[in-house]
A = this chain, B = another copy of it.
């Protein structure tokens, strides 16, 4: 295990160079440096810069999505820290927003069900959900167990799901989701559809036996599956080097003969470009892609009501929540490369928006999120007896708790 366990390595010499859309941008210069993408990274000069060809609205849409994810969480954290009636919890996504945003921007997120691309999420789903286009107020309501929430209060954070936008949903388990996603990809191929299936999974998922099944069968059957590995370096209290002998998890996928690349997960443009290549490949019938996004989460593994502002182990945005297993300097180094900042800087550099417009958008997003919480937290709670519904498609099961 020769992994660097302290801070991400800034390597200036092999930084990918993006020929800018309306100028020329050295991302490295703009952001300090791009993270090392390892030996298995695709040669960036060989491929078109898909993001650079997007229209302004789409680019601004990505920026907006990143902000929605960020502000949903900040708003929720406020709720947890200050509202004694609030009950929702979250596996925070702050720091990783560019991954979900970049990937989902390359997908079909609306239209008839039989054309939607499907996203399988992890136990850390709210970012993926927002990026895939779920109704934010309904999601907020679900996370606080409201009867009118996205899933009627049955699922809460770890099981949010909205098939209407192709968001198959969260999965509280480590292991099964990628295999199941490969089954959706199998179905697409079998019925001759050009849909793709995407699964987001953490570095923790690498060690699960399901990892092998997923990649092996995706390769054997040439499935339109995109496996997005969000390597945020830790699974709960453990660094990924404890469970994975590869420095780049992508090399594990490459061993199966699957196209695999690592990207800087803090840079939405890099993520989008990789996703676009993967989606094009899958739609053309050329099989699976594995994308390892190097990223980092700012908060603790998980946050819930009851934590106190400023207390060690709380998940407050500021001061930082730093526990012993994650060195403070590592966290601070990653925060220097914040996905919000990077996306804002890129769009500014490309002339897509200026600082004033950027601030305006942020205010719009804040207001939108504020309204979502206001609506959600005024929604009705669930009816106890409804717990007997939705076991099967029809009917209810008998109550048994009364003997």
Residues of A within 8 A of B (CB): 1, 207, 209-213, 216, 219-220, 242-246, 251-252, 255-257
In the complex, A211→B220 CA distance in Å? Answer: 16
Q: What B residues does A1 contact at CB under 8 A?
A: 220
Q: What B residues does A252 contact at CB under 8 A?
A: 255
Q: Distance (Å) between the CB of A210 and the closest chain B CB?
A: 6
CB closest residue in chain B, given A212: B212
Q: What B residues does A213 contact at CB under 8 A?
A: 207, 209
Number of copies of this chain that the complex holds: 2
Assuming the contacts A209-B212, A212-B209, A212-B211, asked whether A243 and B255 have C-beta atoms less than 8 A apart, the reply is no
A251 touches B245 (CB 8 A): no
Could you write out 19 A-B pairs with CB less than 8 Å apart?
Answer: A207-B213, A207-B216, A209-B209, A209-B210, A209-B212, A211-B212, A212-B212, A216-B243, A216-B244, A216-B245, A219-B245, A220-B242, A220-B243, A220-B245, A245-B256, A245-B257, A246-B257, A251-B255, A252-B255
In the complex, A268→B14 CA distance in Å? Answer: 49
Q: What B residues does A256 contact at CB under 8 A?
A: 245
CB closest residue in chain B, given A213: B209
In the complex, A253→B209 CA distance in Å? Answer: 15
Q: What B residues does A255 contact at CB under 8 A?
A: 251-252, 255
In the complex, A242→B219 CA distance in Å? Answer: 11
Q: What B residues does A209 contact at CB under 8 A?
A: 209-210, 212-213
In the complex, A278→B102 CA distance in Å? Answer: 46
CB closest residue in chain B, given A219: B245
Q: Distance (Å) between the CB of A255 and the closest chain B CB?
A: 3
In the complex, A56→B6 CA distance in Å? Answer: 57
